[in-house]
Structure 1
Amino acid sequence: MRAPVATMLLGAGAVALLASAASTSENDSLRVGLAAYSDWKADAPGAWRKIAPGDLPAPLASEPRAERSQIAPRPDGAAPKALDGFSVETFAAGLSGPRVLRFAPNGDLFVAESNSGRIRAFHLQNGTLKPAQSEIFAGGLDRPYGIAFHPPGPDPQYVYVGTVSNVLRFPYRKGDLKASAAAEIVVGSLPKSETGHWTRDIAFSADGKTLYVAVGSKSNVADGHSRPSSAEVAALEAKNGVGAGSGPEFERAALLAFDPDGSNRRVYANGLRNCSGLTLRPKTDEVWCVVNERDMLGDDLPPDYATRVKPGAFYGWPWYYIGRNEDPRHAGERPDLGERVTIPDVLLQPHSAPLGVAFYEGDQFPAEYKGDAFVALHGSWNRAKRTGYKVVRLKFKDGRPTGEYQDFLTGFVLDDAHVWGRPVGVAVAPDGSLLVSEDANGTIYRVFQAAR
């Protein structure tokens, strides 16, 4: 028997938090070069930025800092700030570390509550984006993160879940809010450690024949790891591609690929320090993700980014960043890789910590949004002046990113030390609105176009 919606959810008698205030407009001027580097005080819905590879400062141009934000309760009446013409309401509250959001083909919403080791499923009220029922689809999992339905299309047979060390799958039939059987391990022995990135995002190719699994690095910059000999490098790269990791970083900072049953294990791309938000650009086979870059090179280095992940490509970590810029902590170690680094598509302000990305193909937002992407920025921890803690929109033209991005949802920061929200997941709902999860106070917000 399905349980009614828990009291933590936005019920009929609750008051939605609405916000449409914004201090800037769609036509706000573009900030480029040094002007694109700022902090939360300069954030406002409508502000545009563009960072180019030539805009990077020198390493250690500013002193590295460790300034972790302190999580505060959400103040009474507080809500994220959206662009003029948009409103924000609470979809669900009181969740335990909600991260990845994925809609099933029938419109049910699946949420990875990573902190509690479970996947929650929401069934929505007919014709609305209001939760009518909520169930724990599966629990007892090791920090679940990525969620994918297989095969792609209207009638998937499985729900795949990425955990720290495995990819699992549960049998699924349209409308299931609770798993009908125990999980099957599809991919075992993912690189696991007590330190390092634990998120394991997953996605399927458009034809359903390839399962992509993102595995972040164990360390920040691979400090202290022994370098393989030239012969060992040649053998490693012949099997696992340019820039393949070794030792503790073997098959890490990489995008792995498998057949749907977990067989045919291979490395798809290397040098992605922490690839998250795996998705396909609609109507294409382009694999996209957002990447948290390395730390302790200064406030404004190196940029985080969103990018197509090209098969066989190498994105630099740990030896290089944004092309042939060499990390001084690995100077002279791999000169053979300098000209082989793929430059990512959209550079984001350093230390913003992007985690989620979703392409907009809905009909509710203005027509110019179609084909653009939304990215959730979880927020900085090693920058003197706080940045991130917002959702931005990446501009595309003729199917290609322009490199420009716009503040779309802000207002989660209270002061230089305290925040009440940390965005993680973004998903486009069946009605064309945008859902955003934040794991600081366990809330999912819905952004929709205000009635005119």
Structure 2
Amino acid sequence: MIHLMKRVAAASVLLAGTAAVAQETGATLTGEAAFGGWRDDRPGIRRHFTPQDLPAPFATESTSNSARRVSPPENVSPQLPKGFSAHMIASGLGGPRIVRVAPNGDIFVAESGADQVSVYRLEDGSAKPVQNSVFAGGLNQPYGIAFHPAADPQWVYVANTDSVVRFPYKSGDLEASSEPEVIVAELPSGGHWTRDLAFSADGETLYVSVGSQSNVASGMGEAPGGLDAWRSAQPIGAGWGSETDRATVLAFDADGANQRIAATGLRNCSGLALQPATNALWCAVNERDGLGDNLPFDYATSVSEGAFYGWPWYYIGDHEDPRHAGSRPDLADKVTVPDVLIQAHSAPLGIAFYEGDQFPAAYRGDAFVALHGSWNRGLITGYKVVRLLFDNGRPTGAYEDFMTGFVLSDGSVWGRPVGVAIARDGALIVSEDGSGTLWRIAYQGSR
């Protein structure tokens, strides 16, 4: 064990040096050089993983290595690229998760740990709240929030862990004016509990993400009526038993009717967003555990109607999970490869596309993803916000560290990013549930 720890430490030092060179030169880390841990993270570092970079299953032992959450040091501030600054909006929140910005600029925060949705109204050009309120309480682990219709909302939709409800809304409301209306009465509960929401560009379709019950569906059992009957009647890659309607993006009409499965094989799609340039639905996905430090990649991807993304039988294309060896050869050539691969066990949650005018022009059209942080890795990773790089609306596959500094040591962190949203003035809003804080990231230029 001592020799293993020494090898891990030596590898960390080597990779940190590689990252420093990449930061200075603007190079993109690829292949073996792109792997690493929190010591290799700093604003501006770019990584690009491909399916060819996947190691063999069990190349390293699977480990449990959760970082201890500690109080933030005095005067701590996240690390950002030159010209950016971070200012705290609020602290002491009850498990702040997904963040959404209303058309009038109010910031809605799902406080999942407090079973409520809160609202913050900021002073213009500032992180200072001039008003804040609990919009709705008495919820059940609220997570996703969506405004409908988008341009002039009449409703605020909220995803509980087991249902979707909506509240009547008019611009500027800081408190719900009535009790919630139940739109989707029953969603699968337990297991991966987060449920995010997004509407299609025309507002006709409500998408709801539902994560898996388990890590790799080990308790799913036999398909009802036999596998041939099941696959002939269900979408490609649909699960059954305890995984029925799970590891999916579900679709509904705006009033909650007409439930159907939009996509399958997404182990835990914890964040949904619509890409403005293409109107494509995107999700940020936590992949499975137990195959080693660097396997398989987490990812962010556009979601195609009817597509299958692999879970639990395959990952990142036709790479078969050895724990399901030989179970579904019929699916091997039907797996959609995700658009942007992210280092394994980073735990991507929130995703938001940047269409503001405050940040430099190069940011426009890119996306921000919050990485909540690892537990199933020898050297912890994640615990940061990254920027997905796009070119004319198409993902390049590369991503860049944007907001780091939440990790204090190999075993302690003070922050775990979750939600990202773009403020009406073009600032970036970030929630983190390690310390329960909410941040505004602004750009002042090179000064």
TM-score of the two chains, using structure 1 as the length reference: 0.92
**1:398 paired residue number:** 392
Structure 1 residue 368 corresponds to structure 2 residue 365: no
For 1:63-102, what aligned pairs fall within 5 Å after superposition?
Answer: 63-102=61-100
The CA deviation string for residues 362-395 of structure 1, in whole angstroms up to 9 with x for no partner, is: 1111111110111100000010100000011110
**1:8 paired residue number:** none
CA-CA distance at 1:192 after TM superposition: 1.4
Structure 1 residue 352 corresponds to structure 2 residue 350: no
**1:315 paired residue number:** 309
The CA deviation string for residues 266-297 of structure 1, in whole angstroms up to 9 with x for no partner, is: 00000000002201001432000100000010
Alpha carbons 2:347, 2:372 under 8 Å: kept: yes
Alpha carbons 1:389, 1:410 under 8 Å: kept: yes
The residue type paired with residue 271 of structure 2 is G
Alpha carbons 1:25, 1:84 under 8 Å: kept: no
The residue type paired with residue 67 of structure 1 is N
Alpha carbons 1:25, 1:83 under 8 Å: kept: no
Structure 1 residue 31 corresponds to structure 2 residue 29: yes
CA-CA distance at 1:65 after TM superposition: 0.2
Match of 2:261 among 261, 264, 267: 267
Structure 1 residue 343 corresponds to structure 2 residue 337: yes
SS in 1 for 2:331: helix
The residue type paired with residue 213 of structure 1 is V
The CA deviation string for residues 331-388 of structure 1, in whole angstroms up to 9 with x for no partner, is: 0000000000000000000000000111111111111111011110000001010000
CA-CA distance at 1:25 after TM superposition: 5.1
Q: 1:178 to 1:238 in 2, by over 3 A?
A: farther
Alpha carbons 1:27, 1:46 under 8 Å: kept: no
How far apart are the structure 1 equivalents of 2:422 and 2:233? 38
TM-score of the two chains, using structure 2 as the length reference: 0.93
How far apart are the structure 1 equivalents of 2:233 and 2:55? 35
Alpha carbons 2:284, 2:301 under 8 Å: kept: yes
SS in 1 for 2:434: coil
SS in 1 for 2:242: helix
CA-CA distance at 1:251 after TM superposition: 0.1
**2:383 paired residue number:** 389
Which blocks of at least 5 consecutive residues in structure 2 are unaligned? Answer: 1-19
CA-CA distance at 1:259 after TM superposition: 0.3
CA-CA distance at 1:85 after TM superposition: 1.5
Structure 1 residue 148 corresponds to structure 2 residue 146: yes
**1:48 paired residue number:** 46
CA-CA distance at 1:124 after TM superposition: 2.3
CA-CA distance at 1:212 after TM superposition: 0.2
**2:187 paired residue number:** 190
Q: 1:414 to 1:128 in 2, by over 3 A?
A: closer
How far apart are the structure 1 equivalents of 2:327 and 2:365? 40
Match of 1:61 among 56, 59, 62: 59
Structure 1 residue 212 corresponds to structure 2 residue 210: no
The CA deviation string for residues 31-67 of structure 1, in whole angstroms up to 9 with x for no partner, is: 1011111000111111110000111000000000011
Q: 1:90 to 1:214 in 2, by over 3 A?
A: same
The residue type paired with residue 177 of structure 1 is L
**2:291 paired residue number:** 297
Alpha carbons 1:90, 1:443 under 8 Å: kept: yes
How far apart are the structure 2 equivalents of 1:265 and 1:244? 14
**2:8 paired residue number:** none
**1:433 paired residue number:** 427
Percent identity of equivalent pairs: 59
SS in 2 for 1:374: strand
SS in 2 for 1:35: helix
Q: 1:410 to 1:55 in 2, by over 3 A?
A: same
Alpha carbons 2:277, 2:393 under 8 Å: kept: no
How far apart are the structure 2 equivalents of 1:207 and 1:129? 32
SS in 2 for 1:100: strand
Q: Hey, which of these two has a bigger chunk of helix by percent?
A: 2
Alpha carbons 2:88, 2:127 under 8 Å: kept: no
**1:422 paired residue number:** 416
The residue type paired with residue 203 of structure 1 is A
For 1:108-257, what aligned pairs fall within 5 Å after superposition?
Answer: 108-126=106-124, 128-153=126-151, 155-193=152-190, 196-228=191-223, 232-257=226-251
**2:402 paired residue number:** 408
SS in 1 for 2:407: coil
SS in 1 for 2:216: coil
CA-CA distance at 1:130 after TM superposition: 2.8
Alpha carbons 2:87, 2:127 under 8 Å: kept: no
The CA deviation string for residues 305-332 of structure 1, in whole angstroms up to 9 with x for no partner, is: 0000100000000000000000000000
Which blocks of at least 5 consecutive residues in structure 1 are unaligned? Answer: 1-21
Alpha carbons 1:379, 1:389 under 8 Å: kept: yes
Aligned length: 427
